[in-house]
Amino acid sequence: MIKLGVNIDHVATIRQARYRGMPDLANAEPDPVAAALAAERGGASGITAHLRADRRHIQDADIFRLREAIATKLNFEMGNTPEIIRIALRVKPEDACLVPENRAEVTTEGGLDCVANEAALRETVLALQDAGTCVSLFIDPDPEQIEAAARLGAECVELHTGAFANAVGGAQDEELLRLVAGAELADSFGLRVNAGHGINYTNVAKTLRIPHLVELNIGHSIVSRAVFVGIEQATREMAGLLGA
| Series of mean pLDDT values for 10-residue runs along the chain (244 residues) | 96 94 84 98 98 95 97 97 97 97 59 94 98 98 97 98 95 98 98 98 97 98 98 98 87
Model pLDDT, residue 101: 81
- Residue 27's pLDDT is 84
CA of residue 188 relative to chain centroid, distance:
23
Residue 5 backbone dihedrals phi, psi, to 5 degrees: -95, 130
pLDDT value at position 105?
A: 47
What pLDDT, on a 0 to 100 scale, did the predictor assign at position 108? 52
pLDDT score, position 34: 98
Q: Please answer whether residues 243 and 30 qualify as being in contact, where contact means their C-beta atoms are separated by less than 8 angstroms.
A: no
Cβ(235)–Cβ(8) below 8 Å: no
What is the CA angle 3-111-200, rounded to 5? 45
How is the chain split among helix, strand and coil, in percent rounded to 5? 45, 15, 35
Predicted model pTM: 0.94
**Whole-number Å distance between alpha carbons of 234 and 228:** 9
The one-letter amino acid at 159: L
Residues belonging to the active site: 50, 77, 197
For domain 3-241, the CATH architecture is: Alpha-Beta Barrel (3.20)
- The DSSP symbol for 243 reads T
> Which residues make Cβ contacts (< 8 Å) with residue 191, sequence separation at least 6?
146, 149, 150, 154, 155, 156, 157
- Bridge partners (DSSP) of residue 96 are 76, 135
Where do runs of H (alpha helix) occur along 95-212?
118-130, 143-152, 162-166, 169-188, 204-207
Distance, CA of 133 to CA of 221 (rounded, Å): 27
pLDDT of the residue at 20: 87
- Distance CA(168)–CA(121), nearest Å, equals 34
pLDDT of residue 26: 79
Domain boundaries, the chain: 3-241
pLDDT of 205 reads: 97
